[in-house]
Amino acid sequence: MISFRGARGYSLVELIVVMLVFAVVMSLISISFNNIVRSAGQLGKRVETDIGGLIGLELMRGDLELAGFGLPYTLPSGMNYTEAPDDLQLVPGYPEAKAYNYNDSPSAAPTAYRIGSNVGFNGSDYLVLKGTPLGASTVCRSWCYLNYSATTRASRVDPELKIGEKDRAIVLRTGADRDGKPVRKLVASGNNFTFFLDRELDKNFAPADRTGSYLVYGVARKDDADAWLNFPFNRSDYHITRKTDISTTCNAGTGTLYKTVIAQSGKTPVKYPILDCAADMQVVLYMDTDQDGDIDYHPDPADHVFTAKELREELKEIRVYILAQEGKKDPTYQYPDPAIRVGDKELEDRLGHVWTSTMMSATFGADWRNYRWKLYTIVVQPKNL
């Protein structure tokens, strides 16, 4: 007798077991896939943050190095100039971070660095850099020599600035005084220090004898025939501000690090976002007060406003520390440190910010450790003062 038992198919119990195993396997695959997607998203955002930080902070580092380039050491007698207007508030809600507060005396030589200590967003510093290359146009990084000419025609002006463009520039008389100290005096015609790169030159800006050679620094593009300079250099203010359209991945307690170029001729400043999700910025100066080659002083910028001469002779290094969020919130991540120091670990707390766990929770929320925090450090030894 032939048995057909082997061809009867699967029982209901067997099918349920198979479906259960299949469901478990698919659930495990789905969980693994979700983890992969979440990890990829976190990694992608961290890479995006790193790239943005690299580009933006490299711009800041370049500006720190260029600060002081083209600045005069002395001004003509009776000369004055105007920088940021009194009503320019770049960090709303923080009156001590007003741009006007960091104008130099209109009768004194401009300083390459001005710092507002703990006056900005989240108690961050407000950093002001001054120098001719810090403007928003390519002409700002150009310069040339202006040699003696027996006529009012332009003499040779190599290497970069071009005669006939009528860009706006300044002229510095250089050399040495009787004591051998360098001279960089702003040249003016009356109370006017704007020099137009035209084919017919104002003789008051040209060297008076054959041995004379002046330096000409580009400051701004020509906009119209009456576009004079407000101040004989360019200026960029670095500050953290919370903007309304900041990325939704940024913690609510962070802001955006900006570079704001203070415009000439009273025009609207030009703002450039440098780094999103920025939490704090601290600036530390490294001074050699006795000029023996060793750094011996780290001043609190709130205690003293340095003159241009003091910075030239004593400033050996400037460091900028920036705390920023890296990537986005990750519930599976736990930031390892209970406190974050924004500043030099070898210096006193007053020369930086120490964010305790309580402070971090109050500013960035109880879940602040679910964010990856990164401390960027920019170190520059000034060479253009």
Least-confidence region, from 76-90, 246-260, 358-372: 76-90
Q: What is the pLDDT of residues 44-59, one digit of tens each?
A: 544 454 555 677 888 9
pLDDT at 41 over 70: no
pLDDT at 172 over 60: yes
pLDDT score for 47: 46
Q: What is the pLDDT of residues 102-111, one digit of tens each?
A: 999 877 889 9
Q: What is the pLDDT of residues 123-157, one digit of tens each?
A: 999 999 999 999 878 888 888 888 776 554 445 44
Instruction: For residue 159, give both structure tokens.
Output: 């290497």
First to last CA, the chain: 109
Q: What is the pLDDT of residues 71-90, one digit of tens each?
A: 999 999 888 888 999 888 99
C-alpha separations of 147 from 173, 224, 309, 362 in Å: 11, 26, 28, 62
pLDDT at 38 over 70: no
pLDDT score for 128: 97
Q: How confident is the model at residue 32 (pLDDT cuts 50, 70, 90)?
A: low
Q: How confident is the model at residue 195 (pLDDT cuts 50, 70, 90)?
A: confident
Evaluate whether 183 touches 175 at the Cβ level (below 8 Å): yes
Cα atoms in the 13 Å half-sphere on the side-chain side of 232: 31
pLDDT score for 189: 86
Q: How confident is the model at residue 268 (pLDDT cuts 50, 70, 90)?
A: confident
Q: How many residues does the chain have?
A: 385
Please tell me which of 16-20, 123-127, 158-162, 192-196 the model is most confident about, judged by mean pLDDT: 123-127
Question: What is the rounded distance in angstroms from the CA atom of residue 57 to the CA atom of residue 63?
Answer: 10
pLDDT score for 282: 95
Rounded to an integer, the average pLDDT of 260-264 is: 91
Share above pLDDT 70 across residues of the chain, in percent, rounded to a whole number: 86
pLDDT score for 285: 92
Rounded to an integer, the average pLDDT of 208-234 is: 82
pLDDT at 42 over 60: no
pLDDT score for 177: 75
pLDDT score for 39: 53
pLDDT at 292 over 50: yes
Q: What is the pLDDT of residues 308-338, one digit of tens each?
A: 999 999 999 999 999 999 988 999 999 998 8
Q: Which residues contact 323 (CB under 8 A, 6 or more apart)?
A: 278, 279, 280, 281, 340, 342, 353, 355, 373, 374, 375, 376
What mean pLDDT is reported for the chain? Answer: 84
Comparing 212 with 365, the larger pLDDT belongs to 365
Cα atoms in the 13 Å half-sphere on the side-chain side of 59: 20
pLDDT score for 176: 77
pLDDT score for 226: 58
Nearest to 169 by CA among 157, 159, 161, 158: 161
pLDDT at 63 over 60: yes
